[in-house]
Amino acid sequence: MTADLTTDAYAALCRQVCEARPEVRIGTSARRRGFGSGALTTRGQMAAFPCDRRLAVKLPAARVDALVAANAGERLTVGRGRPMREWLLVAAHAEARWAALTHEALDHVSSAPPPKRRTSPQAR
């Protein structure tokens, strides 16, 4: 496999995870496009998605710290390099770990309380 996360490889991961976990969906909403549209979700929360030709998974911050320290991935950054403490980027050449990390991410997201929904200023 090449050094990039391919569409076929991500599709295979999605099939494998969705077969093992019927509660998992692909995408956060049927109407959503763009960011998160292809993410593996549970309870409406993103757990894993393709990002910059790698796989991004949401894990507890301490677990991300440990994996980064072990050179098993790197922290996802947004905007002008702001690190996301609960998101890890896993390289495509680490395909053997994708499924395990994705299941770990789904467990983490499933066990967390649902996030508080922000209301618009007009709704207050």
pLDDT at 40: 93
- In whole angstroms, give the CA distance from residue 90 to residue 75: 9
Q: Position of tokens 């007009």?
A: 122
**CA quadruple 66, 76, 61, 99: dihedral sign:** negative
Q: What's the confidence (pLDDT) of residue 96? A: 86
* Burial environment of residue 100 by CB neighbours within 10 A (0 to 12, 13 to 18, 19 or more): exposed
Q: Note whether 77 and 56 are within 8 A (CB).
A: no
Q: What is the pLDDT of residues 100-117, one digit of tens each?
A: 999 999 999 999 777 666
Contact (CB, 8 A) for 86 and 59: yes
Model confidence band, residue 8 (pLDDT cutoffs 50, 70, 90): confident
Please determine, for residue 85, whether its predicted confidence score (pLDDT) is greater than 70.
yes
* 3-state SS, residue 69: helix
Residue 46: predicted pLDDT: 92
Mean pLDDT of the chain: 85
Backbone angles phi, psi at 21, to 5 degrees: -135, 95
**33-76 tens-digit pLDDT:** 666 678 999 988 899 999 888 999 999 999 999 999 999 999 99
Structural domains in the chain, CATH included, are 7-112 (3.30.1460)
Q: Which pLDDT score is estimated for 118?
A: 62
Q: What is the pLDDT of residue 109?
A: 94
- Choose among 10, 27, 37: nearest CA to 98: 10
For residue 2, give both structure tokens: 């090449």
Give residue 33's pLDDT: 60
